[in-house]
Chains A and B, each alone.
Chain A
């Protein structure tokens, strides 16, 4: 590894002792000897296995649930339905006052996506749980479903989630997150060229090697220890406390060892129902997603659509940028209202543009609920922005890297969000990239700095 210390040498104390040095990782000796304890490496005598009966429909009313045959199946210890869950309707971000509660732990009267959890079966063996799950009878009345964000936003579209009342998340700013800076229409009117393009992405599954799950052991004193691979330990503990109406002092969460997460293990899904099962049976419970569940049931990165309209001058200056972003939350919010909001905070990208208009929508559809994944709300936006930048540079016949130097934000520039830029380093990154990629740019760009005079 090579550290380039000539950049920002004046503002950095050159006293780094750890960065740039190879240091042994504290967890690696456990990994290479197989001694690292992942949650599933704990098993307890008498442990029950939980299997979920899931909706085969994208959108349906539940007319009836009959668990009588399943209950009689050999090895079955307990069957749970919505009735058994103390506080069945929840939403993860309620902890930071982002409501309303809109998701059921176990479906109650309705399912809103294919794969939604309806009935939990706890049995002595995985096999017995699978066999009993096959005997649960659920009578559905299939409802019209909507899978496309623009269709979902049209008047008369099937209503996905009654807790919201419309197919988008209602922010305090209205139907979307909004940024208004300068006069975008005046900017377009003064531009030499206008380019409007739309970009879209499909959901992406994290596919961690270790599937989502937890093992719960009752401690015999109304206290439960939950070994989990959650990436959001305290979010999970506090939400479990709400869902089970149990004080947090009764819940002991053990984790931090995650066999690949990438954002896919921040939702509160397996722990509350497994702890409930342990509470109602008095026995340890294991709830581990199968590979198929990990791929089909766990939240993916949201599908997104990004429409970018730019006004650009022949000399390379972008004078106006209008972005409309759509985030497909699927049937429930989870982290998507936050993801869509992050998009609004991220556009127009690391560029200084005098006239900016941003709208970002969080849209509900009958698809698998989406949630966090590495840079969610930003990654797909960056893809769209940078493809757009390349297209703009071609449109005006300019080198794409030089085009970015012209528009790069620098210290002291006012951002569209009305915060002055501080600590920018895009110019220097591009200078280094120009050298490393052997993609030369004009000397005046190599002489630029993120500092502006007087900034």
Chain B
């Protein structure tokens, strides 16, 4: 089977692999590169569990072919904590009990991070809109919304 090269940065570090053409970014990250923080919940673009950030934009890694990401900067939830210190969103998800089974959590955090990167002080409606592509079947949406608002407040206090 013909292999194609892919090269991108993942959470700031250079990655290069040979993969089968047509491999999704989700499978490349999980099976080849070993970052299993994006999850495959539906493989059809419905659940958001595979959400990653590509060049600053939220994308679904299950519908993105890895070879179209050459040269891109990719962020996943596994790369958020710095030196063992949790990102404010991770801290807020812990503090507001915004995780239950945990399967949707990495995707939720990605969607929330893109929101806060562009809109540091979002309204509740903006949070709901930003998370609207991510499904939580334990139906813990309210604490998740609270976590994002809490992280935004923590950020603005740190900035002040």
Which one, A24, A41, A290, contacts B94 given CB within 8 A?
A24
Q: Does A379 contact B (CB under 8 A)?
A: no
- Complex contact A40–B94 (CB within 8 A): no
Q: Are A28 and B137 in contact (CB under 8 A)?
A: no
Please tell me if A208 contacts chain B, counting CB pairs below 8 Å: yes
Contact residues of A between 31 and 80, Cβ < 8 Å to B: 31-38, 40-41, 43
The complex places the Cα of A210 from the Cα of B102 at a distance, in Å, of 10
Find out whether the CB atom of A291 lies under 8 angstroms from the CB atom of B77. Answer: no
Residues B101 and A210 in contact, CB atoms below 8 Å apart: yes
Bound-state CA distance A36–B102 (Å) is 8
**With A34-B37, A209-B137, A210-B41 as contacts: A28 and B103 at CB distance below 8 Å:** no
Q: Does B109 contact A (CB under 8 A)?
A: yes
Assess whether A259 is in contact with B78, with CB atoms less than 8 Å apart: no
Partner of A260, one of B36, B38, B89, B103: B103
Q: Cβ of B97 and Cβ of A25 under 8 Å apart?
A: yes
Shortest Cβ distance from B103 into A: residue? A259
- Report yes or no: B105 in contact with A291, Cβ–Cβ below 8 A: no
A372 to chain B, nearest CB (A): 16
Shortest Cβ distance from A352 into chain B, in angstroms? 34
Which residues does chain A contribute within 8 Å of B136, judged by CB atoms?
209
Size of interface on A: residues with Cβ below 8 Å to B: 33
A30 — which chain B residues lie within 8 A by C-beta? 102
Q: Nearest chain-A residue to B138 (Cβ)?
A: A260
A211 at the interface (CB under 8 A from B): yes
Asked if B130 is an interface residue, CB under 8 A from chain A, the answer is no
Cβ B99 vs Cβ A25 within 8 A = yes
Given A34-B77, A209-B136 in contact, is the A27-B102 Cβ separation under 8 Å? yes
Q: Are A38 and B105 in contact, CB atoms less than 8 angstroms apart?
A: no
Q: How many A-B residue pairs have CB under 8 A?
A: 99
Complex formed: what's the CA distance from A110 to B86 in Å?
55
**Are the C-beta atoms of A209 and B94 separated by less than 8 Å?**
no
Would you call A207 an interface residue if the criterion is a C-beta within 8 Å of the partner chain's C-beta atoms?
yes
Most buried by B among A31, A34, A37, A208: A34
A29 within 8 A of B: yes
Q: B137–A260 contact, CB under 8 A? A: yes
For residue A93, CB closer than 8 A to chain B, the reply is no
Q: A28, B93: Cβ atoms under 8 Å?
A: yes
Distance from B104 Cβ to chain A, minimum over Cβ atoms (Å): 5
B93 touches A210 (CB 8 A): no
Known contacts A28-B99, A29-B94, A260-B138; is-contact A34 B44 (Cβ 8 Å): no
Q: How many Å from the CB of B154 to the closest CB on chain A?
A: 14
Q: Which residues of B contact A25 (CB under 8 A)?
A: 97, 99
- Chain B residues 36-81 with CB under 8 Å of chain A are 36-44, 46-47, 49, 76-78, 80-81
Tell me the smallest distance from the CB of A260 to a CB of chain B, in Å: 5
Q: Are B102 and A211 in contact (CB under 8 A)?
A: no
Inter-subunit contact B31/A43 (CB<8 Å): yes
Q: List 9 A-B contacts (CB under 8 A).
A: A24-B94, A28-B97, A29-B94, A33-B37, A34-B36, A34-B76, A40-B39, A209-B103, A260-B137
**Additional A-B contact list (20), CB under 8 Å, known A33-B80, A38-B39, A210-B39:** A22-B97, A30-B102, A31-B93, A31-B102, A32-B105, A33-B77, A33-B81, A34-B76, A34-B77, A35-B37, A38-B103, A40-B36, A209-B101, A209-B103, A209-B104, A209-B135, A210-B49, A260-B103, A291-B41, A291-B43
Q: Which residues of B contact A (CB under 8 A)?
A: 20, 30-31, 35-44, 46-47, 49, 76-78, 80-81, 86, 89-90, 93-94, 97, 99, 101-106, 109, 135-138
The residues of A with any CB-CB pair to B shorter than 8 Å are 22, 24-25, 27-38, 40-41, 43, 125, 206-211, 257-262, 290-291
Closest 5 CB pairs of A and B: A34-B37, A31-B102, A259-B103, A41-B36, A32-B90
